[in-house]
Chains A and B, each alone.
Chain A
């Protein structure tokens, strides 16, 4: 008994020494990439933050500290207010539609249809396409074509559904166009944003489906079976068992989709370029113009910092939540 305990203790001791050496090696292996990330990611983020507080607003580098002037200027601009409104509208619509669509597709595919993997691939496929390609293709679909209809309007015309023809990406209206005292921008939904959301959903709902599908496969059949035995209808099973168990998946999907949508640039750049009249312009597009057309480096850095803050407001709680969940598991 005693001998046995001593052996275990010695084995543990050896083991611990080995791991501490392992740890050192691992740390040394990590060091180069840590250094690179410290400089190329965090260093530059800090530098961008610093630039946003300076007077570097022309092509001449001028690093005089001006405090939050650039931020104040941005928030006072009708254009930037519009950008933020557009981004919120885009994110909200994109997120909700994408989640619902993804869940719907996942439930369909999960219902043990024949050729399930083919459907899965078909739905997932748009994700393989670059946002640039999506933007160019959907731009054509959603061009109203006043002289001769193209894209969707042409389709509707051929089908005799003239009532469905719309102005799509050329529609400059904001609906319901509410004026808010103190804001230079009118709320709420810029109609030209809807086609853009449609294109983004087309591209990303397959990804959402894949996530939900993985989640659905992780739900033990016994639980559902038990509920059915207890007399639950399929709808009740979905509502009280499946959906609650999918909550962590939904959370992850929200994080991934939201940070994609906050950073979106390529899709909107190719599809509308921010038009008509800034109705689909988002901060990332404005940032590009500020830096590379207006040569206003500090202004662009301020936009970048605001975007980073928006993303981190979302990501940091998620990371903390994940950490807690992991330590509980352990």
Chain B
């Protein structure tokens, strides 16, 4: 009995220690009060120039040119709206996966930032459906954005008849990057108007046998689907390609869908087989170093070339991805949060996002082109100039791998299906799961 009681006392002490530790842990578990939920300084939304107050901008632009571009845009904002305190809420991580996760928890908790980064187009649908964004169609007319952005783009921005976000930049997804020396040695002209011209070139390179004909990544999960959307465009043509992403599965039942998967399989047969272990940047680096002849990647690959001190059209070349010279776009954009703590400041921010000055400050640094057709060309390098010209002259089609044509849910399944296809090469399974996922383009 006595012994037992002694034990109890010792245990009590132990428990006290434990409880203190537990309380400390619990304190850690409570969400840190970082995100300043600025007590809504409710200024009427129509007041044009807010002086003072706060503005919280949420994005995943944390490194290199992206962060520089964002800061340049902040400078433009500060010059126009002195006294507004900008809270730059960035969450690091490529393609914004981490940022989206943080944003989701904030939205679920009813603490939205005033304005957040989202891929323009169908990716905004989930926020629209959840009632987390304000429509901006009227704002576009007020600001005259509808007159300086291509009609193709405005049409594809519309969801449920409204525009919801202001695009600040445009990236091109369907670009084939090549190593000029390698192609020259193999006697290949870097123009691929049809898929057949691509197959001929790849066959030649394979026969020569000294380089990988086409480098494809997979580590970042979007490389296979990225390559596939260019193949889809080539197989379906501009009009029917756009219909792939309208939220129905009619086009996936078209025999061309299976044909496109067959084409991708053929492309993979000329590619490196360690795709799942390489990132897109590794694939592009192989092209830059002459170990691979070409790769299909968005024009952020151009940024990689610049960062390695190489010159476009000299050390590496580009041409539209095979089979179509349409311009496949994706765009970063900002929306206005429903229930934004600082709506007036947020609108002033969106004004900067859509303005010529703001876009010309941001894009040369980010390495993308403005969503407007009237940029100051002197600020852009040779590749970007060519892209600007194509953007206002070629048909525009939305990128699926980067959210212009797909919702978050569809995009995730699209990536995974193609990643699995890249290793299994099972056309039937891939087609089935693409059809099944198509319904997700409505949620």
A275:B219 contact, CB within 8 angstroms: yes
- Give CA–CA (A328, B26) in the complex, Å: 34
Interface size class on chain A is: 35 or more
Measured CB to CB, the residues of A under 8 A from B are: 12, 15-16, 19, 22-23, 26, 29-30, 32-34, 36-37, 40, 57-61, 78-79, 139, 143-148, 167-170, 172, 272-273, 275-279, 288-289, 291-296, 330
* Contact (Cβ within 8 A) A294 B274: no
Given A59-B132, A60-B131, A61-B108, residue A170 in contact with residue B273 (CB < 8 A)? yes
Contacting residues, chain A, for B5 (C-beta < 8 A): 15-16, 19
The CA of A60 and the CA of B276, in the complex, are separated in Å by: 34
- Say whether B419 contacts A170, CB under 8 Å: no
Interface residues of B in 1-57 (CB under 8 A from A): 1-2, 4-5, 8-9, 12, 15-16, 18-20, 22-23, 26, 29-30
Verify B276–A295 contact, CB threshold 8 A.
no
A167 engages B274 (CB within 8 Å) = yes
* B127: A residues at CB distance < 8 A: 59
With both chains docked as a complex, state the minimum distance between the C-beta of B20 and any C-beta of chain A, in angstroms: 8
Select one of A33, A60, A277 contacting B130, CB under 8 A.
A60
B424 touches A (CB below 8 Å): yes
Q: Which of A277, A295, A330 contacts B423 (CB 8 A)?
A: A277
Question: Are the C-beta atoms of B416 and A79 separated by less than 8 Å?
Answer: yes
In this complex, the member of B127, B277, B416 whose beta carbon has the largest number of chain A beta carbons within 10 angstroms is B277
Q: Tell whether, in the assembled complex, residue A292 and residue B423 are in contact, meaning their CB atoms are under 8 Å apart.
A: no
Q: Which residues of B contact A278 (CB under 8 A)?
A: 416, 419-420
Q: Which residues of A are found within 8 Å of B419, using beta-carbon distances? A: 275-278
The stretch among B58-66, B201-209, B407-415 that forms the contact with chain A is B407-415
Give the 3 A-B residue pairs with the shortest CB-CB distance, closest first.
A36-B26, A277-B423, A276-B276
A145 to B15, CA, bound (A): 54
Contacts of B274 in A (CB 8 A): 143-146, 167, 170
- List 12 A-B residue pairs with CB atoms under 8 Å apart, sorted by A's residue number: A12-B1, A26-B16, A32-B23, A40-B29, A59-B104, A60-B130, A145-B277, A172-B423, A272-B276, A276-B422, A277-B424, A292-B97
B-side interface residues, number (CB < 8 Å):
57
| Contact present for A26 and B277 (CB under 8 Å) | no
Q: Does B291 contact A (CB under 8 A)?
A: yes
Partner of B286, one of A36, A147, A169, A294: A147
Closest-by-CB residue of A relative to B129 is: A60
Say whether chain B's binding surface is mostly helix, strand, loop, or mixed: helix
Partner of A32, one of B19, B421, B423: B19
Shortest beta-carbon distance from A22 to chain B in Å = 6
Contacting residues, chain B, for A296 (C-beta < 8 A): 409
Which chain B residues border A23 with CB–CB below 8 Å?
8, 12
Output the least CB separation between A325 and chain B (Å).
16
Q: B173-195: which residues lie under 8 A (CB-CB) from chain A?
A: none
Q: Are A147 and B292 in contact (CB under 8 A)?
A: yes
Residue in contact with A275 in the complex, picked from B131, B218, B421, B443, CB distance below 8 Å: B218
Other A-B pairs, 8, CB within 8 Å; known A32-B23, A276-B277 = A29-B15, A59-B132, A147-B212, A275-B221, A277-B421, A292-B100, A295-B104, A295-B409
Contact present for B276 and A26 (CB under 8 Å): no
B314 within 8 A of A: no
B272 interfacial by beta-carbon distance below 8 Å: yes
The answer on a CB contact under 8 Å between A146 and B423 is no
Among A59, A139, A143, A145, max chain B CB count under 10 A is at A59
Q: How far is the CA of A139 from the CA of B16 in the complex (A)?
A: 44
Closest-by-CB residue of B relative to A150 is B277
Establish whether residues A293 and B108, one from each chain, have CB atoms under 8 Å apart when the complex forms: no
B19 contact set on A, CB distance < 8 A: 29-30, 32-34
In the bound complex, CA of A58 to CA of B407 (Å): 11
How far, in angstroms, from A292 to B96 measured CA to CA in the complex?
A: 11
- B26 adjacent to A37 (CB under 8 Å): yes
Residue of B nearest to A19 (CB): B5
Does chain A have a CB within 8 A of B126? Answer: yes
Q: How far is the CB of A50 from chain B (nearest CB, A)?
A: 15
Q: Known interface pairs A32-B19, A292-B100. Does A146 touch B212 (Cβ–Cβ under 8 Å)? A: yes
Chain A contacts for B2, CB-based, 8 A:
12, 15
Determine if B408 and A293 form an interchain contact, defined as CB atoms under 8 angstroms apart: yes
**Set of chain A residues within 8 Å of B389, measured between Cβ atoms:** none
Q: How far is the CA of A172 from the CA of B277 in the complex (A)?
A: 11
